[in-house]
Amino acid sequence: MKLKAIIVEDEENSREILKNYLAKYCPNVSLLGEAANVEEALLLIRNNPLDLVFLDVEMPYGNAFDLLDKVGDRQFETVFVTAYNHYAIDALNAHASYYLLKPISIDKLIEAVDYVSEIKEKENRLAHTVLQPNHRHVTGKITIPIQNGFEVLQVADIIYCQADDNYTNIFLKDSKKLVSKTLKYFEDLLQDNGFARVHKSYLVNVNAVTEYNKGKGGSVVLSNGKQIMVSPSRKKELLSYFE
């Protein structure tokens, strides 16, 4: 599929390099415009349906994170392109799909574009279908430690798990349990039971997913009404459960 994209970069030379690389190595990217600052970028974003924004961090009159705050709800993916590696955590928290360091590696650029293409193709295929997990509904049980022994939980009753430092909150259909185990522990325990890690802090039962929203960078709504953001690095895995 063609990805409708823009470049947000204040340095003209950097814009030209990226444009040339995209034209030569990423023919599935259709550039709709360029912006040198936050205000120009906002105008392009608000006037074009976009799939992808290549985004420099430092710009005049604001930075990439200021821009994303002003945009608010968004349905496009972001690929950060910067000369500074210390923004990586901030980019992750801003739900960036990829983080490219200057000078741009052609292989990494192709990898980033391919990753976004795959996400968008999956989202488009699922846009007009009823979400139906391809994983069988589970009927197993797990045990969790309690003060005097252990408690048995029905796996099918678990809607999602949320990290709380070295503890995990397990949200069931009608209750919540705080367990002295990490989220990684439950991810490993439930990996063959239709549970997907959608965020560094969340593990969800795919059978409990009722909606997938492309807005806000991607989120799921669960059977109890809880809405959870989906990290870009986790989208492809989650969406594969519904194909």
- Joined together, the tokens standing for residue 76 give 């496009």
3-state DSSP assignment of residue 1: coil
Residues paired with 99 in a beta bridge: 80
If you average pLDDT over residues 154-165, what whole number do you get?
Answer: 94
Where are the domains positioned within the chain?
3-126, 141-240
Looking at the structure, give the CATH architecture of the domain made up of residues 3-126: 3-Layer(aba) Sandwich (3.40)
3-state DSSP assignment of residue 210: strand
Looking at the structure, give the CATH architecture of the domain made up of residues 141-240: Beta Barrel (2.40)
pTM: 0.76
pLDDT for res 182: 95
Q: Are the beta carbons of 218 and 198 closer than 8 angstroms?
A: no
pLDDT at 134 exceeding the cut of 70? no
Q: Are the beta carbons of 18 and 81 closer than 8 angstroms?
A: yes
pLDDT for res 191: 84
Instruction: Label residue 189 exposed, middle or buried (CB < 10 Å: 0-12, 13-18, 19+).
Output: middle
- pLDDT single digits (tens) 195-217: 999 999 999 999 999 998 886 67
- pLDDT single digits (tens) 222-243: 999 999 999 888 888 888 888 7
Q: Are the beta carbons of 176 and 164 closer than 8 angstroms?
A: no
